[in-house]
Structure 1
Amino acid sequence: MKPFAWGDVIPGCDAAFTAPDEEGIFAQAVPHGAAAHGIDEVTPELAATVRAHIHES
Structure 2
Amino acid sequence: MKTFACGDVIPGCGAHFSASEEDGIFAQVAGHAAADHGVTDIPPELVQAVRDRIRSS
Percent identity of paired positions between Structure 1 and Structure 2: 56
The letter of the residue matching 2:45 is E
* TM-score (structure 1 length as normaliser): 0.95
Distance 1:10 1:56 in 2: 20
Q: Any unmatched runs of 5+ in structure 1?
A: none
Q: Any unmatched runs of 5+ in structure 2?
A: none
1:21 and 2:29 aligned: no
Structure 1 match to 2:6: 6
Q: CA RMSD in A?
A: 0.6
**Divergent runs of 4+, >6 A:** none
Post-superposition shift, 1:44? 0.9
Provide the aligned length of Structure 1 versus Structure 2.
Answer: 57
* TM-score (structure 2 length as normaliser): 0.95
Structure 2 match to 1:35: 35
